[in-house]
Amino acid sequence: MRKTTFCTGLAMAAAMAWTVPALADETCMSPYIAKIQGIEDYVYVWTLGVEGMGDEQDKLVTIDTNPESKTYGQVVSVLSVGGRNEAHHSGLSDDRHYLWAGGLDSSKIFVFDIHSNPRQPQLHKVITDFVEKTGGMVGPHTFYALPGRMMITALSNNVDHGGRTGVAEYNNDGEFVASHWMPTDEDLRGAVKTGQHADGYGYDLRVKAESNVMLTSSFTGWSNYMMDFGQMLQDSTAMQRFGNTMVVWDMHARKPLKVLDVPGAPLEIRCAWGEDNRYCFTTTALTSQVWLLYEDEAGEWHGKAVADVGVPSEIPLPVDISITADDTGLWINTFMDGKTRFFDISDPHAPKQVFEEVIGSQVNMVSQSWDGDRVYFSSSLLNNWDKTGDADEQYVKLYHWDGEKLAHQWTVDFYAEQLGRSHQMRFGAYALYGKRPDADAKVAMAE
Amino acid sequence: MHNPARMRFRTLAVTLAVTSFCAVVYAETSGELDTPEEFDTSHTQGPGDVKEGYESRDYETRSRSLLKRRGVKKDLIRFAQNPPLGLPPVPIPAENPLTRAKIDLGRKLFFDRRLSINDTFACATCHIPEQGFTNNEMRTAVGVEGRSVLRNSPTLYNVAYLTRLFLDGREISLENQIWQPMTSHNEMAAPSIGWIINKIRRMRDYDGLFEKAFDGEEPNILTVGQALASYQRTLLAANSPFDRWYFGNQTNAVDESVKRGFGVFSGKGQCIVCHTMQKEHALFTDEKFHNTGLGYMISFSKGSKDAPKTTRVQLAPGVFVDVSNEKIEAVSQQKLPNDLGLYRVTENPNDRWRFRTQSLRNVELTAPYMHNGKFDTLREVIDFYDQGGIPNELLSPFISPLNLSEQEKQDLEAFLLSLTGSTVPEIVADAFAAPIGDLSLEDPNWAHEETLGY
């Protein structure tokens, strides 16, 4: 039998912190949302359409991940949404009934119903007026649930398509609530500029609820993330427009407190799960470093570089990261060499790489199950940043991890199936909704 | 604060102006802001994301707040009616007389992102007001879905005078020109002219605006072009320090370096041969096509055995690495044709790599420079011409090594920096006041109640 359990909400999550030895989310999501602690039934892959391939548009691809199912490791649903929106990241609502997925180019947000039929998601709502409602934010990126809310970081703006931007707040009905602009030198919004930078850029968002802290990182604006990667690397003007900051916010008040210098485009943020582990990690995409963001005994937050990823001068380009449930390990993918690396972070101030393996010619996202036994990888970084020719592999791969080595289980080739470029992965499970597999899935599992 | 009565007076003065009162009119249209205290002019010149000094580890941000980027609507028609000092009368097509209603409508269209296929791109996305109506943040432009464009976005200042539009001269009027960027696959990517017209007709915030501006006419292939052209004809940036010295006889309007630089420009530097001047005014362009060798070099450098094997790439303030071009090639998806300039229009082999001379007015605001944004600074441009461009069989006969001294180069740069129009803050302030057309629930879209009607 599959073993799937779930819990919901802050109170329950907080209560379980003392009772469950390894409380964690399966892929480093908000502590406020329901979790899959057993085997996931599906992985939902937010996929970029490619000109000249299939129906050429973005789509949500559902892959069966239940090893007892007949269609295990196969695509079981494809839902096209219209347009090439620069499909990028997605996030689950706090009740995990809906998956919000954004387009960095069109700024459209597609809200999928994944609870009515987890095997076959439906398009529930399209939010088309994100730019207008937020007052000019462009490129919705991270979707991060807080109770009754969806926090959405943006990457750019409608004025100059540069990196100055903000965080939008929506309610669970998909209605706009508020805009929280990133602090700039001209308007620090009450924050303290602790170093040389207050660029106003944005990227990821995570919370360390025990500290009432929300952290944001910084990437680059539309002009760069939509530009051909090779063209951009040769454009010294464009290369000056990457983020060098992280911002520490008062989570409840949504007020920026401190702007920290983190040079070289800090991207994904992953916070430790242990109640007393008051720290988070990020990696800098351009300078290839692991940074620790940590709270000192006085309650002040700081940032410092604690490790290199590969050889920084070769620009391995760290992209997605994933922290283990027990806060002892951190997966770090590097796009350019197609490798995943596993760092021992038992001492968060001195991470050490203990494992590496090439996943493909290029690799971007990594998502692990809550128990860390299963690790999924996908390939696409950005539509105009992916590699060319034969190196443009597009896939989702599942590996099993025993703590020492990865064992490949299956690959879904997204080009062979005419799907497009595979980006972010989120998990689904029937048990989250007190359901059992529907008729189709039962048939699939019967044999 | 804004003073409507004062504005009306100025407008009236302009309207009544005749040639014999030119000096008086000039005083009213010299580009001084009506009420400079109305807004913070620090936002009007240069990107709000200031990167000066980024090469150094000591770089500190001086980022401006987007929320404080606010403007004031101005009466730009007076610039066209009585151009700022240094500019000739504005040619206005008889079939498209300039009116305030057309200018206002053209401005609204100019900032409307909904005119692109996916509601993401306006004219102003590449022609950013505070960035000299060009884009200071990239060398060559990027269009819808990140599609690469061959050239650097040209400034729109003083575009009213051009009779050959685009750097290869393929269009002959502003009214015609507007359709190409809107329908080009790698710019705004609207599927057709009819698609744009249909969409405008279905956007409720345009109700009545065309009819008011065009004597009852709806949006159509003529009126859309005429409105956009009308707005662009008012982007007249002159009355620069140089103009006030040279044409206005204000001895102290520029310093001695500028005056010496003008001597280099018109003498030893031979710049004036292509960047021409007239007795009463100057556009600083002959509107002709010249081969400087830059396009030739770019076309033949690809794959050359002598080409550099690495590219210097900046990763953070003060942090650089040399990246192998092989690695860069591995992530270069978009393969563009070589840019052969005028040849693309004529197919005459003698026209290879010839590009229209660009005006020097307001060059302080329009970096990076040249048709492909090759150079970040004016000094690099000066050095390029000082060395005589790039030799090739079609090199313009007007280009040869200049042997300028360091002092002459500095003076020439000072002269170029003196060409920034005093009307710029007012034009940009007006642009900031324009609403940016972003998709709302009232607009036609397949996901809305109101659709495009197909």
Interface of A with B in 24-43 (CB under 8 A): none
Please state the separation of Cα B385 from the chain's center in Å.
22
Backbone angles phi, psi at B78, to 5 degrees: -70, -25
- Beta-bridged to residue A248, according to DSSP, are A215, A258
Residue B453 has pLDDT above 70, yes or no: yes
| d(C-alpha A268, C-alpha A215), whole Å | 10
Q: Does A163 touch chain B (CB under 8 A)?
A: yes
Per DSSP bridges, beta strands A266-271 and A279-284 are antiparallel
Residue A21 has pLDDT above 90, yes or no: no
Closest chain B residue to the Cα of A225, Cα to Cα: B146
| d(C-alpha B116, C-alpha A146), whole Å | 35
Q: Does B119 touch chain A (CB under 8 A)?
A: yes
Give residue B308's pLDDT.
Answer: 85
Give residue B306's pLDDT.
Answer: 77
Give residue A256's identity as a one-letter amino acid code: P
Interface of B with A in 35-64 (CB under 8 A): 47-49, 51, 54, 58-64
Beta-carbon contacts below 8 Å between A and B: 207
Q: Does A175 touch chain B (CB under 8 A)?
A: no
Give residue B342's pLDDT.
Answer: 97
Give residue B305's pLDDT.
Answer: 76
Give residue B256's pLDDT.
Answer: 98
| d(C-alpha B116, C-alpha B123), whole Å | 9
Q: How would residue B40 be classed by pLDDT, with cut points 50, 70 and 90? A: low
CB atoms within 10 A of CB B403: 10
Task: Kindly state the percentage of chain A with pLDDT values over 70.
Answer: 91
| d(C-alpha A353, C-alpha A333), whole Å | 12
B333 and A160 within 8 Å at the Cβ level: the answer is: no
Q: Which residue has the higher pLDDT, B121 or A6?
A: B121
Residue A195 has pLDDT above 50, yes or no: yes
Tracing tokens 């150079």 back to the chain, one arrives at B375
Lowest mean pLDDT among A71-80, A424-433, B90-99: A424-433
Give the contacts of A302 (CB within 8 A, at least 6 positions apart).
A260, A293, A294, A296
Contact B438, A130 (CB under 8 A): no
A229, A237, A312: residue with CB nearest B368: A237
B448 and A128 within 8 Å at the Cβ level: the answer is: yes
CB atoms within 10 A of CB B393: 8
Q: Please compute the mean of the pLDDT values over residues A348-375 and round it to a whole number.
A: 96
Give residue B18's pLDDT.
Answer: 29
Residue A9 has pLDDT above 90, yes or no: no
Is the peptide bond prior to A316 cis by the omega test (within 30 degrees of 0)?
A: no
Q: How would residue A316 be classed by pLDDT, with cut points 50, 70 and 90? A: very high
Whole-number average pLDDT of chain B: 91
Q: Please compute the mean of the pLDDT values over residues B87-92 and round it to a whole number.
A: 98
Q: Please compute the mean of the pLDDT values over residues B82-87 and round it to a whole number.
A: 98
pLDDT one-digit tens code per residue, B97-131: 999 999 999 999 999 999 999 999 999 999 999 99
Helices (H), B343-418: 343-346, 378-386, 406-417
Per DSSP bridges, beta strands A98-103 and A87-92 are antiparallel
Residue B10 has pLDDT above 50, yes or no: no
Q: What is the dihedral of CA A432, A436, A439, A440, to 10 degrees?
A: 50
Please state the separation of Cα B167 from the chain's center in Å.
12
| d(C-alpha A181, C-alpha A137), whole Å | 9
Residue B35 has pLDDT above 70, yes or no: no
How far CA A235 is from CA of A54, A157, A288, B108, in Å, comes to: 33, 21, 20, 32
| Residue A330 C-alpha, separation from nearest chain B C-alpha, in angstroms | 24
Closest chain A residue to the Cα of B315, Cα to Cα: A286
Q: Please compute the mean of the pLDDT values over residues A278-304 and round it to a whole number.
A: 98
Per DSSP bridges, beta strands A149-157 and A137-146 are antiparallel
**Residue A397 DSSP label:** E
Q: Structure pTM?
A: 0.92
Give residue A36's pLDDT.
Answer: 86
Interface of B with A in 145-184 (CB under 8 A): 145-146, 148
Residue A447 has pLDDT above 90, yes or no: no
What length is written for chain B?
Answer: 454
Interface test with B, best of A129, A167, A201 (most B CBs within 10 A): A129
Give residue B38's identity as a one-letter amino acid code: E
| d(C-alpha A392, C-alpha B327), whole Å | 14
Q: Does B373 touch chain A (CB under 8 A)?
A: yes
| d(C-alpha A362, C-alpha A338), whole Å | 4
A198 and B61 within 8 Å at the Cβ level: the answer is: yes
Give residue A8's pLDDT.
Answer: 38
3-state SS class at B336: coil
**Residue B134 DSSP label:** B
Give residue B1's pLDDT.
Answer: 33
Closest chain A residue to the Cα of B440, Cα to Cα: A129
Contact A404, A424 (CB under 8 A): no
B441 and A129 within 8 Å at the Cβ level: the answer is: yes
Largest CA distance in chain A: 65
Give the contacts of A10 (CB within 8 A, at least 6 positions apart).
A31, A32, A147, A209
Contact B144, B366 (CB under 8 A): no
B142 and A227 within 8 Å at the Cβ level: the answer is: yes
A196 and B58 within 8 Å at the Cβ level: the answer is: yes
Angle, CA of B396, B397 and B402, to the nearest 5°: 100
Q: How would residue A442 be classed by pLDDT, with cut points 50, 70 and 90? A: low
Give residue A127's pLDDT.
Answer: 98
DSSP string, B272-300: GGTS---SS---S----EEE-SHHHHHHH
Q: How would residue B335 be classed by pLDDT, with cut points 50, 70 and 90? A: confident
Q: How would residue B33 be classed by pLDDT, with cut points 50, 70 and 90? A: very low
A240 and B51 within 8 Å at the Cβ level: the answer is: yes
Q: Please compute the mean of the pLDDT values over residues A197-202 and round it to a whole number.
A: 98
Residue A59 has pLDDT above 60, yes or no: yes
Query: Considering only CB atoms, which chain B residues are within 8 Å of A181?
Result: 65-67
| Residue B119 C-alpha, separation from nearest chain A C-alpha, in angstroms | 7
Assigned token pair, B418:
């003196």
A128, A132, A388: residue with CB nearest B333: A388
Q: Please compute the mean of the pLDDT values over residues A356-381 and round it to a whole number.
A: 96
| d(C-alpha A426, C-alpha A33), whole Å | 13
3-state SS class at B245: helix
Put residue B216 in one of left, alpha, beta given phi > 0 → left and psi -120 to 50 → alpha.
left
Give residue A38's pLDDT.
Answer: 86
Task: Kindly state the percentage of chain B with pLDDT values over 70.
Answer: 91
Closest chain A residue to the Cα of B66, Cα to Cα: A164
Q: How would residue B3 be classed by pLDDT, with cut points 50, 70 and 90? A: very low
Contact A109, A60 (CB under 8 A): no
Q: How would residue A135 be classed by pLDDT, with cut points 50, 70 and 90? A: very high
Listed residue (B82, B86, B84) closest to B32, CA to CA: B84
pLDDT one-digit tens code per residue, A430-440: 999 988 776 55
Q: How would residue B44 be classed by pLDDT, with cut points 50, 70 and 90? A: confident
Give residue A34's identity as a one-letter amino acid code: A
Q: Given strand A59-64, what is the order of strands in its sheet?
A: A75-80, A59-64, A42-48, A421-428
Q: Does B332 touch chain A (CB under 8 A)?
A: yes
Interface test with B, best of A161, A181, A286, A317 (most B CBs within 10 A): A161
Residue A236 has pLDDT above 60, yes or no: yes
3-state SS class at B268: coil
B436 and A159 within 8 Å at the Cβ level: the answer is: yes
Q: How would residue A173 be classed by pLDDT, with cut points 50, 70 and 90? A: very high
Q: How would residue B406 be classed by pLDDT, with cut points 50, 70 and 90? A: very high
Q: How would residue A54 be classed by pLDDT, with cut points 50, 70 and 90? A: very high
Interface of A with B in 309-368 (CB under 8 A): 312-315, 336
B49, B311, B438: residue with CB nearest A158: B438
Assigned token pair, A22:
């390894």
Q: Does A240 touch chain B (CB under 8 A)?
A: yes
Q: How would residue A34 be classed by pLDDT, with cut points 50, 70 and 90? A: confident
Percentages of chain B per state (helix, strand, coil), in multiples of 5 = 40, 5, 55
Query: Considering only CB atoms, which chain B residues are within 8 Å of A244?
Result: 61, 316-317
| d(C-alpha B90, C-alpha B421), whole Å | 16
| d(C-alpha A375, C-alpha A245), whole Å | 30
A157 and B323 within 8 Å at the Cβ level: the answer is: no
Closest chain B residue to the Cα of A193, Cα to Cα: B61
Give residue A438's pLDDT.
Answer: 62
B64 and A184 within 8 Å at the Cβ level: the answer is: yes
Q: Does B368 touch chain A (CB under 8 A)?
A: yes
Give residue A437's pLDDT.
Answer: 76
Task: Kindly state the percentage of chain B with pLDDT values over 90.
Answer: 86
Q: Please compute the mean of the pLDDT values over residues A272-294 and round it to a whole number.
A: 97
Interface test with A, best of B44, B52, B61 (most A CBs within 10 A): B61
For residue B244, what is the enclosing H or E element? helix B241-246
A106, A162, A230: residue with CB nearest B118: A106
Contact B385, B269 (CB under 8 A): yes
